[in-house]
A and B are shown apart, each in its own frame.
Chain A
């Protein structure tokens, strides 16, 4: 099979070097970066066009005041950011995004992990269990939030009807912040925990059985095996699960939009929902841009923090050590 990278690199090489031997030398010395450029180049370019550009545009609008569609934007330095941290509507929304996001991620991971441990047992009919738990993941948000609303209706809601039948006063879910957050979290868990469990399961099954056998020979009990073999083994998948979970959870807004609409009294409003309303209904692109940057920064800081704290040892290890010497 012809080496594709040679062919594609030839034209460029002939300009820089005298002949194919020069190119071959150049290629051998910089093989990795060339292949990386060939693979990542088009991807990054594509990303630039499709989302990098519009996103940069949106972020830059954070430095502008753009009140009306027909007016031209006015540069206002950091006014929008200052406003963000002065107006409780914004910083409280950010705070809610963070703590609801952390709560959802944490619970999701914990429950998902316990479920994955059980799914990892050799049970009869485990394929059926996996499918059952995964079902909510494939449902559409619009349809299932409607179902939650039907459950929570105060006049003919399924839950209130049950409460009434048991002889208690029905609960007015929509007028309580606590219940609002509770149902947002319950919905997010219902929707997310199955996917998380399957992810953990993949991680658990990726742990080499030989390691367990070795631990058994060393006389480790169940708990010790879990602590010394399972946990280190699932670390890579844990990093992925935490990061995707957090990114997803901090950006939740559909459940808020469809279940509580930010109510009561705007106290379940999360930041992405605010951005959406700013951008489209108030046409306040400046605040939408600034809020996005802040939210992005928060998620980014969390991620970097996580990498520094927990992922440093195995993420930073270089799998290719010693390779060059052998070539």
Chain B
């Protein structure tokens, strides 16, 4: 079989570049087999090989997996991620539908306004958000504004604070839905389909590939987000995996020399579930992309 030169070129670039992409992870895997002492004594090369490899760092993670609390962290992370994914996809899809298919005065202005909200640097709202949560009316022992903890340190932080409005997703859906011919809607109307059916039975399946993309990016952002649990909750039973791991690594770095191999292993620990989820979704994602011809 003859290989086309362009394909050979593609193979070389993608493979070499891909190896560069995963190289830090390879380094992490290698470094995680070091003991703290050996790591400190080694002159690090690009591929450090431990003379006395240890799985003690992994064992900490595996051992932790048996821990009741860690299981709670895991399920918190999982539910939180699922919740955000469902919400973000739904709002993105519906929002995209509105801006792609409906006609009303001030649409462009409204769209620009919503797009603008995505450009606000998030840090500015952090302290005001904290105050708002603490003063949430009639929650957590509050009377109208005062008295208790508000919704701080409760599941509401994840329920309310997580999703909001996924304008960038809506933007993406809008772009792709605009390529679906309007005649499809008309035909459905003539067949007597309600708006509800039009949205969910006819337009939704066509947007699945793009929704898969939104779902993956949302899942990844939510999973890696340690800020929300860290700032707005304190109880153990509300922590998520990344937040808990950040804590463990703060023990690893406290007082004196950081235990790099342990930290690196924990870093792998955060990444691994997400990689699994990506692999799981990826088939759907790639499959979706394949028929994402969005038959125009």
Assess A/B contact in the complex (Cβ within 8 A).
Answer: yes
- Contact A279 to B127, CB < 8 A, known contacts A35-B102, A150-B260: yes
Known: A140-B224, A147-B24. 9 other contacts (CB 8 A): A51-B129, A51-B164, A53-B128, A55-B117, A140-B242, A143-B266, A240-B172, A251-B122, A275-B121
A interface residues with partner B (beta carbon < 8 Å): 1-5, 31-33, 35-36, 39-40, 43-44, 46-47, 49-55, 57-59, 115, 118-119, 121-124, 126-144, 146-148, 150, 156-158, 161-162, 190, 193-195, 198-199, 201-202, 205-206, 208-209, 236-237, 239-240, 243-244, 247, 251, 253, 271-272, 275-276, 279-280, 285, 288-289, 292, 295-296, 299-300, 303-304, 314, 316-320, 323, 326
Q: Is B294 an interface residue (CB 8 A)?
A: yes
- Chain B, Cβ-Cβ closest to A321: B182
Asked whether, in the complex, the Cβ of B186 is within 8 Å of the Cβ of A323, the reply is yes
Asked whether, in the complex, the Cβ of B102 is within 8 Å of the Cβ of A32, the reply is yes
What does DSSP make chain B's interface, helix, strand, loop or mixed? helix
- Contact A237 to B117, CB < 8 A, known contacts A57-B128, A143-B271, A272-B123: no
Contact partner of B128 (CB less than 8 A), chosen from A54, A132, A195, A296, is A54
Q: Is B197 an interface residue (CB 8 A)?
A: yes
What does DSSP make chain A's interface, helix, strand, loop or mixed? helix
Asked whether, in the complex, the Cβ of B46 is within 8 Å of the Cβ of A162, the reply is yes
Give the docked Cα–Cα distance between A50 and B128 (Å): 10
Q: Which residues of A contact B53 (CB under 8 A)?
A: none
Give the docked Cα–Cα distance between A201 and B107 (Å): 30
Instruction: Pick 19 A–B contacts, CB within 8 A, sort by A.
Output: A1-B194, A1-B197, A35-B102, A35-B195, A53-B132, A54-B131, A55-B117, A118-B10, A138-B275, A144-B267, A147-B27, A161-B43, A244-B168, A247-B118, A251-B121, A279-B127, A288-B123, A296-B121, A323-B103
Asked whether, in the complex, the Cβ of A127 is within 8 Å of the Cβ of B282, the reply is yes
Give the docked Cα–Cα distance between A251 and B118 (Å): 11
Contact partner of A130 (CB less than 8 A), chosen from B105, B108, B117, B286, is B286
Give the docked Cα–Cα distance between A285 and B171 (Å): 32
- Contact A236 to B175, CB < 8 A, known contacts A118-B14, A121-B7, A292-B120: yes
Contact partner of B165 (CB less than 8 A), chosen from A5, A43, A158, A199, is A43
Give the docked Cα–Cα distance between A35 and B94 (Å): 10
Q: Is B160 an interface residue (CB 8 A)?
A: yes
Asked whether, in the complex, the Cβ of A279 is within 8 Å of the Cβ of B123, the reply is yes
Contact partner of A206 (CB less than 8 A), chosen from B104, B163, B271, B294, is B294
Asked whether, in the complex, the Cβ of B194 is within 8 Å of the Cβ of A300, the reply is no
Contact partner of A133 (CB less than 8 A), chosen from B21, B161, B196, is B21
